[in-house]
Structure 1
């Protein structure tokens, strides 16, 4: 009987426990003995013939998950059965199917040696010496099995994701500090550039030199400290947005909309920021005909503004409610929108009622799509165009 048939016979009879390894051979009770590395008649879909030790180890451990089985086989230095061969092989060994295309019976199948008799069994004849076996053909060397037998897993998928005894918290802290410092320097540079530009524009209109307007003496070394405020006021212009959560543009999403031309719903952006609400956001136009213009401060707490801060307010995103302007230092919304440009953001398919009130005000209505995000850029550019035109008109008052 060949090794595969013997293994199938013992598997069907439920006598796998009688298959015991002694040195370099498997003994099937007192019936047969085969070399552990003997090739069986079962050919894998990869093309190689499975050895007896591979099939014995598999049929005794088939209940394991494939990953656990592979790891266990590697630990025992035994070539494993591929995942695709597992089911059909087990069905054949358990007798659920009588045959399979994977079986390749060959005339030179290893001849089983009689299993050696037990020491106390005097009735059994003495086992024939192993050198008396007849081999018709030289054994075929399975080089792939030899290679797999010496393979060792260095790292698995989980080990690659582990970084033991390492703490990246300090890296996070340092990178965060560097980013904060970079933003602070950029913000200061933007403020300085805006102040210089506003003074230069005022100087050109009054026909004075740039150095005189900035307050520098003829040598250009010491400032005269004679700074005069313009119509918009000294410092970075301010844009006010509603603090209400249900409006389209808020302190959470205004930066992405005005700088990148992308509308992100407030609730989505708030979750990305872990609910952390900034007191002030700096925005800058980065696209269109005049990219990277001076920066603007965006705030949503008008009550925190000082008297001199109101001179820097140039725009406001409105809710369409009168109570939004409560305690503002202006007589009414007519005066507000004469000195500040107003924007009302709406979805293009919203009802007319949503804009009924603001249509009575001197504000610009800007529509965006609920789903077509590629159209956001045009809406943001519309806001910038109106804002730049308004600031230029104020500078000439």
Structure 2
């Protein structure tokens, strides 16, 4: 008698049929696999091969795998998913293939159930007849096996997603997720930037952020929105004046690049790139540090257009170094101007001393930048912000 037939082990039979090249003789009939003309086993029957995950592979899983092992794992997995068949895991593919093809004689993953009866080497005719019935009897018995409810449940299960399937999903990667998240964050920051540039929003932030100008000392009660007294720097957004002449380094065209981004761009370059008419007012905020950017400033270059009450809001001026810049200003002299307004004079570091000769007589902060080393602009811009914020704090407390 054929020893394979005697053992009635579906895993060993599948290995024998694989080695002989008889896989085409394993035919599925309803819920069973028929091995040639001798044996029939339920498709859901658990074999002795235990996966690395701990469960035993069903006969259906192993038969389908050995007939489709040539497929790449992603294609194989999608195929099993579509058919509702549990798949062989990626780590188990090679060991199972080597065992079933006869390359390995055995493996630690094969665990036979202890209750399987041992087969005597030389059974008597009576024992042989009682323990190993003829093929017709075997088929009859195995076609109506005892109900295995666990196997029935597992056969009905259709796994959709697990960690392995997610990693092996076609045309998907985690980089695209990162790119999408980064894009959403950039759009959010851009939207907030547009809001900060709105003068009305800037004004509301200024009036609603007393902490940045000294908290309660500014005259605000944190429990009531009404101010207790007028701001020392005037109601509204503080004003920074810049020259309208092109011979100065800082103008209304490039002041935003310098103060917000810490980059000096020549005025003529900005004018050539500008679309539309020259702006009458530009709003700037400090974005060069981790401080909350809640204080906004209006930058203007037409002092003659200011109303009397607007002069109370002027906190800084970029000077040309020429007396005529202050013509018709509502102050009696330079001393009064630079006591009430902080002054800045921008120059290239290699300019002659004569260019700053007049300015040195005034209470003005001289800021030097390089003609070519743009990476140094940030430090110069921060120098302006430090001086300006210190001045605003001292003026608010006076």
Q: Which TM-score applies when normalising by structure 1? A: 0.49
Higher relative contact order (CA 8 A, sep 6+): 2
Q: Which TM-score applies when normalising by structure 2? A: 0.49
